[in-house]
Amino acid sequence: MEKNGQLSSWQELPWENFKHSLFHLQCKIYKAMRKNDIQSVIKLQKLLLNSSIARYIAKEEVAKRNLSYKLSKINEEQFFSNNNTRKFNDEDLITQYLWKMLLEPAHEAIFSEHSFGFRLGKNPWDIQTQLGSVLKNLSVQGKIKIIIIEIRPDFDTINYNFLIGKLICPREVKFKILKALQSGILKNNVFSESNIVARGMLPSLFGNIVLDGIEKLPNAFLEGKNEKMYFGFRYGNQLIYILKNDASKTKLLQLITHFLKIRNLKISKKTIVDDATEFDFLGWHFFIQPTGKISTYPNKENWQKYKTKIKSILKNSKYKINTRINRVKIISREWHYYHQFCDMSKVKGQLYELKRWYSNYLRLNTKISKIDRILSLRKSFNNYKYKTFGYTKANRGGSTFNGKWEDWDSEITNRQRQKELYGLNLSSHSIAKIKLNKANI
């Protein structure tokens, strides 16, 4: 009874008021940083760190992520090194989330507008839209070059002193963060959603802090100082540069290499396309038509992964057929959702063949009736809407910390909708996953 009473009192807390208070405090941090008032930023961060409201919200967020971890069946990761293993407990994750809450608004104030990955209010569709616009303008002016770079996502070799020096936060927090870094929170892919759920909230933020600016290296070092010679965009550890044909790709690559060397990071993959009319980026294929029109659709690698995943799930006889069908529905919904601003007529034939294979497999290998097969097919593969380059950004005021609660609230709503879309219903009852020890609040 005591447990039920405790859970009930937790759910009855004024969460909306808590989130309003935290949001306004983060907005103050953001505005102070925009004015370069570091002293005020540190004072406000200390206030946030000692806030009981911030700790309540951190506990709630950790509980939701724990449930997400369980539902997505992510394997627990071992933490290095020398055969020493460590798994973060709830208190570790709560502390990490508190650090994230005070670091995020300060760094969002100075992050490049050409960085889109793993940030509040940013997503891959921003890059897709920007690329479409830039390609359309530059293709009219003449030939272009494309440089696509993938930075090694394992940041465990990073220069910790460099990262700590870049952090905007109280000195005592920096010292604690250094200890967390030494425990291995930057091991493996720091820009992986599944790893973020499994290992904590800080890796992707740290990754963005370290790489910030690489997408906007000074044009003064390139040929043509009086004219912008290239456009750069970054999503996590993936970079794309669009150069005018007379720009020096060699000089740009030298700048990138030097930038990464200071941070003790390396390029893992590099693609250069001269006289570019088509290329692949973030799972999309971009094509510049002779008329100057730009089209984008799922690239071959992305399509092959999707098709293979659908078939392997449906063929996995280890699980009941209804379980497999539901899993296919989730995967398919996620894939179509990601590509909703593509020209899907380019893969219409492949989609038809996959649907036909799906229907035939159920007909030949299960006892599902014809009507149920048709319903299953529709739920998994039909009724999706597409609009090429149709993404419209809801928050046109810049950062989510611009002081407008509506932008923040819509961002939270969108994330919740995406989680529900992927089959992760992270409702408030998941707070029961956290042991509510009053001494820790």
CA nearest to 406, candidates 395, 398, 416, 415: 395
pTM of the model: 0.81
Q: Which two tokens stand for residue 402?
A: 């611009």
Whether 185 contacts 146, CB under 8 Å: no
21 exposure class (CB count in 10 Å sphere: 0-12, 13-18, 19+): middle
Q: Residue 381: which residues within 8 A CB-CB, separation 6 or more?
A: 332, 351, 354, 355, 358
Q: Which of 311-315, 383-387, 405-409 has the lowest mean pLDDT?
A: 405-409
Whether 119 contacts 400, CB under 8 Å: no
CA angle 19, 23, 25 (to 5 degrees): 120
Query: Using 50, 70 and 90 to split pLDDT, how confident is the model at 433?
Result: very low
pLDDT exceeding 70 applies to what percent of the chain? 76
What single letter denotes the amino acid at residue 25? L
Q: For residue 59, what pLDDT is reported?
A: 87
Residue 436 confidence (pLDDT) above 60: no
Q: Which two tokens stand for residue 45?
A: 């961060």
Parse the chain into domains and list their residue ranges: 1-109+425-441, 114-296, 299-381
CA angle 393, 235, 401 (to 5 degrees): 50
Whether 44 contacts 32, CB under 8 Å: yes
Residues 280-315 pLDDT 10s: 999 999 999 888 889 999 999 999 999 999 999 999
Residues 88-128 pLDDT 10s: 567 778 888 899 999 999 999 999 888 988 888 888 999 99
Mean pLDDT of 222-233: 64
Residue 168 confidence (pLDDT) above 80: yes
Q: How far apart are CA 88 and CA 284, in angstroms?
A: 35
Residue 397 confidence (pLDDT) above 80: no
Whether 124 contacts 342, CB under 8 Å: no
Q: For residue 66, what pLDDT is reported?
A: 65
371 membership: H or E segment, kind and range? helix 370-381
Q: For residue 111, what pLDDT is reported?
A: 92
Most confident of 49-53, 64-68, 142-146: 49-53
Residue 85 confidence (pLDDT) above 50: no
What single letter denotes the amino acid at residue 212? D
Q: For residue 434, what pLDDT is reported?
A: 31
CA angle 206, 101, 24 (to 5 degrees): 140
Residue 437 confidence (pLDDT) above 80: no
Residue 385 confidence (pLDDT) above 80: yes
What Å distances lie between residue 420 and 67, 138, 201, 276, 322, CA to CA?
13, 39, 20, 39, 19
Residue 240 confidence (pLDDT) above 90: yes
Whether 363 contacts 373, CB under 8 Å: yes
CA nearest to 66, candidates 173, 192, 198: 198
Whether 90 contacts 66, CB under 8 Å: yes
Q: Which of 68-77, 224-233, 411-420 has the lowest mean pLDDT?
A: 68-77
Q: For residue 156, what pLDDT is reported?
A: 73
Mean pLDDT of 318-340: 93
DSSP symbols for 143-167: -EEEEEEEE-S--TTS-HHHHHHH-
CA angle 295, 410, 405 (to 5 degrees): 135
Q: Which two tokens stand for residue 403?
A: 């002081």
Mean pLDDT of 402-420: 53
